[in-house]
Each structure stands twice: as structure tokens, then as C-alpha cells.
Chain A
């Protein structure tokens, strides 16, 4: 059943919680997890400005995913990590739909009510546009 799982993560508490659920799902089915982290234009700008060079920038982003990677290592789940570039919603949707995933797991939003009203939540966009089943972890 759920063998190929896509986990959309940004290192926030929500995404770490989502990761533990993705792991449970993967364990049930002996599946693998692809972790994707979408970097939008604003984050790109800030990261490049604050990073020394692109290796440093990459390293700092990897640090953000470290809690999740540690969790995956600890539970012995096969995984890959990938950084996508663009608006998180559309970027993750495109990536998920271009490959045959059995399930997409994403944390519910970390934004407050006003931000959600204006920006819309990433998890909502994913749920609406991804073809495969989506698990939104609250």
C-alpha cells in the first residue's frame, strides 16, 4: 500500500510531528520516505545574504532538516532528502504529481490566522492539488 511516501518538511515543529507519522506509515508497509523542503524566493534571498557561500547555505538548510533525518535514521527507514525551489505549495504539488507517490504527508500550518487568510496554507494547497492521498498531521 503506502510504500513510496513524500514528506513535505521545513524543520518546524509541525513538520517534525508529521515526520513521526510518516515513519509510522512507512513502517507498516516497509516503505521509503522522500523528504522535500521547498525554499521560496524570500527565503533564498535571506539565506544567501546571511550565508557565506552556497555550501554554507546548503549546510544550514540541512541543519534545519536534521531533527527529521535523525528520526529517520533512528527508526531505520530508507529515505532521501531534496531541496525544491519556488513557492512551497506549487513546488511540492508539482514534485508529488511528477512521480508516483502513494501518499504525501505534510504538517498543518505554522502561520497565524491572518497570514493563513492572506497567503493560504501550504497544506491546503497540497491537499487540493496532489493526485494521491494526502495526510495532514495536526
Chain B
């Protein structure tokens, strides 16, 4: 370790070396670790009016976590069914969005990665990126318009008499899933594209020469090779959809609540930061556990994801 640090300073010089160390340290400690620790700290405290903070009543407690699981005191039901159901539904919906994105993006990433043509591939990639210059909230509203009662899709379907009356895409949550899937498509495509691009075309041809069908080629050659990119994309899409706020807020139907919306309500409408923190911590830890277990099942190493 000592030798490593010496080499590091020899290569970068004292000034640049310390500047880089300071910046990275500042980034990790001040912007990531400390806020999360204070969030964790908040989640174990009582909800008190400001004058009583730091006073005798400001002790550590599990009351916020108990609330998520068992509901308010005196709740005869036993469990906080409403919030737990929202929590579960959010996770399932996020997993659904992840799988949908994977199904949509794998063929695109494969096509982009294995096409030899330089010029028009760059244009295709650019076409994928340009829509993301538009603000996320604007894009969500655009989806609301497209999927609205008198939106393009309903108008189109009615024009050709495929349906008689407009479909309520918002209530059916179709708009929400479409919006979320669309929002994170690039995060799924690019990690896969990067890996597939580095796959030697000869391997595909070799497999074909040995009589492999397209299914076999993908199952035995392309997908095992692309696994780091696939898991990296899935991790990001899952984490971000589970933590999305704008899209559920704008595109969600009246009956469907996203867990992040509950957190938002605790912080902003309820003013109950400890309760909100507890919800946020539970969401974060659950997502990490899910991602790690899925990685374990598919035998992906943490190091592969960085590739």
C-alpha cells in the first residue's frame, strides 16, 4: 500500500496528487457518505418539533421502522398493509420495467454493437441520445399528452376504428410503464452496446459455421459474453425506476402510488423527516439486497459491472 501511494505521488506530483485525493475524498465523504449517515441517523429518531431537538426526548428509537411494518399505534390490523403493498408493488413494477427494457434494448444493442458500418451507426446512436436533451419532466408530460384520452394513440386507434371509445392508458398504468421504460432505455443500451461491440465477430461466425442456430449463438456465445453489460444495465434501470419520482407523479394513475411518492409525502407534506428517512433507508437497502442476490444467482462479479 505504501509503495502504491509512493508510485501514485511520483507519477502525478505532489500538487496534482493531493488535489485529486482531496476532490475524490470530498465527493465520497461529503456528498455520499455523510448525507446517507445523517439520513440513517434521522431514521432512528423521534419526530419532534424543532425546540425539543437535542432535548431529553431526542432519543434513538425504532418507531419509524415499526410504523412502516405495523402501522400507527392502535392499528388493529396488525400490519401497515397500505404502505407495504405500495412498497411491494413498486419493487415488482421496477423489476417489470427492467425486464421490459432488457427485452427492448438487447436486440438494439446487439445490432449497434455488431454492425460494421461506421457512419450511420453513429447517427442511430445520436438519434437515441438527442431526446435526452429534453428535461425528464417535460418528457413525462409529453407521454401524458400522447397517452391522453384525446392523445395521438387514442386518436389513431379510433381513426381506424380499432376501438370505439378512448382507452384510459393513465388509469391502466400503461403510460407509467411506457414512460419509465423510455426514461432509462439509454442506461440499458449503452453498457450492453459497449460489451457487445468488443465481441469478436469471428466467434459468431465460428458458431454459425458449426451449425448453431441464432438462438444457440445468443444463448451460448453472445449473452454469456454480454453478461457484465446486461447486469450493469439492469442494475441501473432497476435502481432508478424503483427510485423514480417524476414519472410516477406525472404518469401514474390515481390508484397507483409509487413508494418514492410516500417518501416525498413524509418529507414535504408531512414534514416528518425521521419517518421519510426510515422509508428511504428501507427502499435503498432492499434494492441493494435484490441487486446483489440477482447478481449472485446469475454469477456476475461486482468487478464485471465496471467493465
Tell whether A pairs with B: no
Q: Write the residues of chain B forming the contact surface with A, with a CB cutoff of 8 angstroms.
A: none
Q: Write the residues of chain A forming the contact surface with B, with a CB cutoff of 8 angstroms.
A: none
